[in-house]
Structure 1
Amino acid sequence: MLFMVIEHIKNGKAKEIYRRLQEKGRMMPKGLNYVDSWVEPNFDRCFQLMECNALRLFQQWVAQWQDLVEFEIVPVVPSKETVETITPML
């Protein structure tokens, strides 16, 4: 499944996040896959597209970053698949 992960960066801690990222990498457990990400110009939020089949892997990953980030994890469906689902109902 695909997930849009919205990271709300706590108290302007973007430098701490990037420092940890440089030192330790993303620290993602095997099976949690990073696809791509986008960051707001003011560093308030990061939007990451991730792929995963076991939600416990998100728990493991979030636990390593929760001191710097608050997370929203939203399941998403690609637009093409949504069109295929909805078209027969039109």
Structure 2
Amino acid sequence: MLYMEISSWEPENRDKILEHFKELKVPAGINIVNQWVDLTGGRYFILYECDDAEAFAAFNLPWSDVCYIDCVPVMKSTDFISVMSRKS
């Protein structure tokens, strides 16, 4: 399954965020598709695949002390249209 995450943090946590990025280890079961940083600061966007709840937790829990994570399951719009067409 694909997930789009938007992580945001308070300006005073910037240095902690940078340290987390330096130590980032992506666990087995997480396949990062792409990632972006908000050039105005304070937000990070990542699109990844994951079908393993343990990998999902291992990837996200280490960040819970320095930022807010908004995670949404997503799919390509063409795939969504195909799925919904089969339901009709």
* Normalised-by-shorter TM-score class: 0.7 to 0.9
Q: Which moved more, 1:69-78 or 1:55-64?
A: 55-64
Q: Percent identity?
A: 26
Alignment size in residue pairs: 87
Question: 1:50 maps to which residue?
Answer: 48
**TM-score normalised according to structure 1 size:** 0.78
Task: Report the Cα distance in structure 2 between the residues aligned to 1:89 and 1:29, rounded to whole angstroms.
Answer: 35
Question: 1:15 maps to which residue?
Answer: 15
Task: Report the Cα distance in structure 1 between the residues aligned to 2:75 and 2:81, rounded to whole angstroms.
Answer: 10
Task: Report the Cα distance in structure 2 between the residues aligned to 1:4 and 1:88, rounded to whole angstroms.
Answer: 25
2:39 is paired with a residue whose SS is coil
31 and 42 in structure 1: CA distance in 2 versus 1, 3 angstrom threshold: same
Alignment of 1:9-88 (within 5 A): 9=9, 11-12=10-11, 13-22=13-22, 24=23, 26-87=24-85
In structure 2, the gaps of 5 or more residues are none
Moved over 4 A (4+): 87-90
Aligned-residue CA RMSD (Å): 2.0
